[in-house]
Amino acid sequence: MMLPSINPSETQAWQKLREHFFDMQYVDMKEMFAQDENRAQKFHIQWEQFLVDYSKNRINQKTIDLLLELANEVGLKQAIEAQFSGTNINQTENRAVLHTALRAKENEVVLVGGKNVVPEIFAVKNKMKSFSNEIFSGDKKGFSGKAFTDIVNIGVGGSDLGPAMVVESLQFYKNHLNVHFISNVDGDHVQEILKKVNPETTLFVVASKTFTTQETLSNAETVRTWFLKSATQKDVAKHFIAVSANIKKANDFGISEENIFPMWDWVGGRFSLWSAVGLSISLAVGFDNFEKLLSGANKMDEHFKTASFDKNIPVILALLTIWYNNFFGAESEALIPYSQYLQKLAPYLQQGIMESNGKSVGRDGFPVNYQTGTIIWGEPGTNSQHAFFQLIHQGTKLIPTDFIGFRKSLYNNNSHHDKLMSNFFAQTEALLNGKTETQVLAEFKKDGVSQEKAAALLPFKVFQGNKPTTTFLIDSLTPETLGSLIAMYEHKIFVQGIIWNIFSYDQWGVELGKQLANTILEEIDQKEIKQHDASTSFLLRNYLK
């Protein structure tokens, strides 16, 4: 089944939502809370260890009903079935989209072109398991007979961001191996990492789905040259392994087939941390924890497939984004984890969300006449409170914000955790309620501020409030809950793409820059600048001076 092409703005639900928006655009959430003491009861979902409270959004029951109507009208249910059953929903690349199969249970059957791929997936997982065990037990040794101490993942985009984010997030569960990431083709980045490692005790994982990515291949070559200053060509096999869907190219690079962990073309780069791209995760936290990560994601997959849409977390989250993006005109969303471990979550999701849904052509091949992908950004709280929260509170832009917090801290440092979490709750409360003139004046009075000064300061101290937030309160940060959290956002991306009638799983937009960079590199090498626009020629000449 091909995905249908339905312009969402021409659906009946969209027309109704447009009318409904006029009733809702100035509604104050504070008043809705005052009128309905059950509002939080109505607009939350409790699932496994996740409490998702979306009551602090500019919605009422009618908004949700109409958004659900929209989801039904664009055929979301059938689209979900098409994705999970291995249909080639990545039509522009003629591929299935099956990162979900990577976390399927062993007895599940997932067909790609009529073939069950679950046994192959488990074969690769078993290879990852024994390899990881041998490395951290010290059974597998480097060329001089010493056990490995450091792992360097060389990859970029999906072959870097996912594993780097998970390794950072699961630091608490880490074993003795130090894991580093080289991604940027910036030679200074490579050198800074190489400064920290010893060639005798370092394993290099070259991760690239295509094995054609300039950054990764250049970095891998530089690292190999550095390695060969201390070792011989035959030692390369012990220290360099690859993860790729392009076995031939990995082989051409000099990595023997037994040292290549395969992946498949039905796994998109930005959704690949569940595949052998996750090898550095498995090396950092142990294969058992990697499996728990997969199992948490699998639970979210089941929830997404089976829960009715009104109780379906990814569906509700996607619909809220549609509401703000397409009706309120909000352009960006912030994501604020109240856990320092999750500092790389927003950069990781930037690729997932913006590479997937940053599209302007509909599935019918025509430009869309509505807004699509949102801009995503964020940093952990409370640091972000002291950085950009001012703009969310009192700026002119509407920025729906996700707050992610945990009931327990991993080190049971309750005094810190209570402080952290009181900020977490306080921010969403402040964003909801703001501060009225009456409240500000009462404060002035209490502090003995003169009437003149109070009148002058009043407009600046008033907070409008009514800023939408969604709160995720999760028991604790474990491999399993992290897996569920990532999968939750993956499915949110999918639902949005279906509604916006775009293809979420290609990324043609990043190709042009790559092609031009190759042309420019040749010109730089030959010191001969050819035909460019006047600005680019001027800059290139200046660079070559």
Residues that bind ligand F6P (CB under 6 A): 156-159, 208-210, 213, 216, 269-270, 355, 507, 510
The count of other CB atoms within 10 Å of the CB of residue 531 is 6
- Phi/psi region, residue 51 (left: phi>0; alpha: psi -120 to 50; beta: rest), is beta
Beta strands (DSSP E) in 6-142 are 44-47, 50-53, 111-112, 115-116
Report in angstroms how near the CB of residue 102 gets to ligand F6P at its nearest: 15
Which of 91/210 has CB closer to ligand F6P?
210
Which CB, 269 or 497, lies closer to ligand F6P? 269
> Is 249 noted as a catalytic residue in this protein?
no
As measured in angstroms, the least distance from the Cβ of 271 to ligand F6P is: 9
- Distance, in Å, from the CA atom of 144 to the CA atom of 478, rounded to the nearest integer, reads 37
Instruction: Give the nearest distance from C-beta 273 to ligand F6P in angstroms.
Output: 11
Q: Give the length of the chain.
A: 545
514 is catalytic: yes
Q: Is 386 a catalytic residue?
A: yes
Task: Quote the least distance from Cβ 167 to ligand F6P, whole Å.
Answer: 17
Pairing of strands 240-244, 260-262: parallel
C-alpha to C-alpha distance for 530 and 521, rounded to whole angstroms? 11
208 or 282, CB closer to ligand F6P? 208
Nearer to ligand F6P, 512 or 534 (CB): 512
- Listed in sequence order, the residues at least 6 apart from 201 whose beta carbon sits closer than 8 Å to its beta carbon are 142, 146, 147, 148, 149, 150
Query: Which residues pair with residue 191 across a beta bridge?
Result: none
Q: Are strands 401-406 and 469-474 parallel, antiparallel or unpaired?
A: parallel
Select 85 or 210, whichever has its Cβ closest to ligand F6P.
Answer: 210
Smallest gap from Cβ 160 to ligand F6P, in A, equals 8
Q: Which CB atom, from 63 or from 213, has the smaller least distance to ligand F6P?
A: 213
- Among residues 355, 379, 480, 490, the one annotated as catalytic is 355
Q: Closer CB to ligand F6P, residue 198 or residue 214? A: 214
Q: What is the DSSP pairing of strand 178-182 with strand 111-112?
A: unpaired
207 DSSP β-pair partners = 243
Q: How far is CA 119 from CA 95, 106, 111, 136, 297, in A?
A: 20, 7, 11, 26, 19
CB of 355 to ligand F6P, least distance (A): 6
Query: What is the C-alpha separation between 297 and 480, in angstroms, rounded?
Result: 7
Question: How far is 239 from 201, CA to CA, in rounded Å?
Answer: 9
> 195, 386, 446, 527: which one is catalytic?
386
- Count the helices and strands in the chain (H runs, E runs): 23, 13
The torsion angles phi and psi of 461, rounded to 5 degrees, stand at: -95, -10
CB of 515 to ligand F6P, least distance (A): 12
List, by residue number, the catalytic residues. 355, 386, 514
